[in-house]
Amino acid sequence: MTAIQVLAVASEIYPLVKTGGLADVVGALPLALRDNNVATTTLVPGYPAVMAAIRAAEPQLTIEDLFGCGARVLRSQVADLDLLVLDAPHLFDRPGNPYTGPNGSDWPDNAFRFGALAWVAMQVGLGAIAGYRPDIIHAHDWQAALAMAYLAYQDRRRPATVLTVHNLAYQGQFPADLLQRLRLPPHAFSIDGVESYGNIGFLKAGLQFADRITTVSPTYAREIQISENGCGLDGLLRARSAVLTGIRNGIDVDVWNPETDARIASRFGLATLSARAPNKAALQRRFGLRDEPDRLLCAVISRMAWQKGLDVLADAVPALVARGAQLALLGSGDPELERRFTALAHDHAGQIGCVLGHDEDLAHLVQAGADAILVPSRFEPCGLTQLCAMRYGAVPVVAKVGGLADTVVDLATGIQFYPVTRDALEAALHRTADLWSGRAAWQALQANAMQTDVSWAEPADAFLRLYRGLLTPKN
Ligand code: ADP
């Protein structure tokens, strides 16, 4: 049987460029699908980190004018991933974050940077690279979504299309007067096209035109169809509900394996849970917490953004401290939240510790050493932190929203609370502390969590069914 050829298009890919869960998914799904006879090639921007990582890159396509300058598409293999890299220095050869400049605001030409990614995806999808003709274009998030519109506004036979929404809150909205320069026809600026509340909406365009829309958990797929959570696009999502499904994310269970993990202080498994203790001690040391094995150690690993509810956690810190628990926070983002947690760590030295920054290695130690991982998100499309936590026997304490509602079972594999308020979170922290003190119940939670399948196996099957459904000729 010939493999299904998928051209994935994304602005991040683990292990090369990552600002969030999107990168993890884009890096892991091709490997999970490979066993299902799906061959994925991923088109990514040639940021400096990507260009540095690709060796033996072969030019596949030269583009004379890609929004102002020439560009090339290079093929390379990195970490088992088959990549097409859009080498366009005028758009992507910039240091730091993929989306923002040194002052933290969006690059002013983001419409063209990601318009270019989408436009090249369209070209490749239509066969611009000799000998390569994908069956399906699978675009991820707003940065790739305009490809669906470019494909819709041309009249050649096109591949089937899938758009995965990792977070509806990020939509890629740009001024209407860029329409022509983005190579979109005048009639594209309509409610049935790329227009979104008076702007050009990249994600909106993708939602309008994709053959199938997926999002990263079944509950989030339902939530975004109501106005409270629809970020202005709930009407369109309701109209397209027949092609919208939720497929939860998985994690790479080889990278996240406490039995083999070289980044933690002590390896352990379900049968050797006592070997977690050195990780807790190492974590306490690293975060400046008192080395007290019998104290409940809660932890957070998170972007510090409004979505993540960390302001609510900061409000609940006095209750957590009064209960005698410790808190270790690894995260970065909103400067106000960073200041708040730094101050809390200062005021409660030895009991609250915080490390600001993104640190993959440390994230492994936190998962391996914490007793509980707190995820008080106001909304959460899927969430990966709680999946890693379950695998590492750190009990997830999560808001009952989105993918957190789907992946954690209250009092079986973790603890859930709702709504995301100080009162509800404090009550959850008390429940957590109560369970922690009855050691047998706690160990049962840990054991259930560790036995939960958080791998890509099930979601990869779901994607395979989705892809096959798109390729089956309709009568
Ligand atoms: P989002 O994509 O909204 O940031 P997810 O939970 O889907 O949230 O994915 C984020 C991933 O990145 C998780 O695996 C999380 O543990 C990890 N992560 C978040 N912040 C940090 C950090 N500061 N250091 C290391 N890993 C982090």
DSSP 351: T
Which ligand 1 atom minimizes the distance to the CA of 332?
23
Six-digit token string for 26: 């884009």
In three-state secondary structure terms, 164 is strand
Could you tell me the two tokens for 454?
Answer: 């958080």
What are the pLDDT digits (tens) for 331-371? 999 999 999 999 999 999 999 999 999 999 999 999 999 99
Ligand 1 mean position, distance from CA 150 (Å): 32
Q: Using CA atoms, how far apart are residues 127 and 343, in angstroms rounded to an integer?
A: 56
Which string of DSSP letters, residue by residue, matches 88-133? Answer: -HHHH--SS-SSB-TTSSBPTTHHHHHHHHHHHHHHHHTT-STT--
Token pair for 79 = 């970490």
- Whole-number Å distance between alpha carbons of 204 and 218: 20
User: Does residue 104 have a pLDDT over 90?
Assistant: no
Atom index in ligand 1 nearest the CA of residue 381 equals 7
Topology given in CATH for the domain delimited by 4-250+457-471: Rossmann fold (3.40.50)
Please give the Cα distance from 197 to 59 (Å, whole number): 40
Q: Measured between alpha carbons, how far is 122 from 127 in angstroms, rounded to an integer?
A: 9
Question: Is the pLDDT reported for residue 474 higher than 60?
Answer: no
Angstrom distance (rounded) from CA 31 to CA 105? 34
Distance 145 CA to ligand 1 centre (A): 23
What DSSP letter does each residue of 254-288 carry, written as one string?
Answer: TTS-TTT-TTSSS---GGGGGGGHHHHHHHHHHTT
Ligand 1 pocket test, pick from 301, 387, 406 with the greatest ligand atom count within 8 Å of Cβ, gives: 301
DSSP letter at 57?
P
141, amino acid identity: D
Give the residue, 20 or 379, on which the prediction is more confident: 379
What is the CA(223)–ligand 1 centre distance, in A?
22
pLDDT digits (tens, 9 = 90+) for 180-194: 999 999 999 999 999
- Averaged pLDDT of the chain: 96
Find the residues whose C-beta lies inside 6 A of ligand 1: 20-21, 301-303, 330-332, 358-360, 363, 382-385, 388
> Can you give the pLDDT at residue 57?
86
Rounded-to-10 torsion of CA 338, 339, 345, 348: -140
Q: Which fold has domain 270-450?
A: Rossmann fold (3.40.50)
For residue 100, how many C-alpha atoms fall within 13 Å in the half-sphere facing its CB? 6
Q: How far is the CA of 300 from the centre of ligand 1 (A)?
A: 10
d(Cα 79, Cα 337) in Å, to the nearest integer?
Answer: 35
Q: Assess whether pLDDT exceeds 90 at residue 222.
A: yes
Using a pLDDT cut of 70, give the percent of the chain over it.
99
Strand order in the sheet with 160-165: 58-66, 69-78, 81-87, 38-45, 4-9, 136-140, 160-165, 212-215, 244-246
Asked whether this chain's domains 4-250+457-471 and 270-450 adopt the same fold, the reply is yes
- If phi > 0 it is left, if psi is from -120 to 50 it is alpha, else beta; for residue 230 that is alpha
**Predicted local distance difference test score (pLDDT) of residue 475:** 46
Helix H or strand E encompassing 321:
helix 310-322
Single pTM value for the model: 0.94
Residues whose CB falls within 8 Å of the CB of residue 423, separated by 6 or more in sequence, listed in order? none
Measured CA to CA, the distance from residue 456 to residue 252 in angstroms comes to 7
Ligand 1 atom index nearest CA of 22: 2
Domain ranges of the chain: 4-250+457-471, 270-450
Residue 323 CA to residue 436 CA, distance in Å, equals: 12
Over 90: is that where the pLDDT of 32 sits? yes
Ligand 1 centroid–CA 445 distance in Å is: 23
Cβ atoms < 10 Å from Cβ of 1: 4
Torsion, CA 398, CA 400, CA 403, CA 404, rounded to 10: 20
Cβ contacts of 239 within 8 Å, gap of 6 or more: none
Please write the tens of the pLDDT for every residue from 288-309: 999 999 999 999 999 999 999 9
Tell which residue, 311, 359, 318, 317, has the closest CA to residue 337: 311
228 pLDDT more than 60 = yes
Average pLDDT of the segment spanning 75-88 = 96
Residue 240, classed as helix, strand or coil, is: coil
Q: Which residue owns the Cα nearest ligand 1 atom 15?
A: 385
Q: Which residue has the tokens 């109501």?
A: 226
Q: What local confidence, expressed as pLDDT, does residue 96 receive?
A: 86
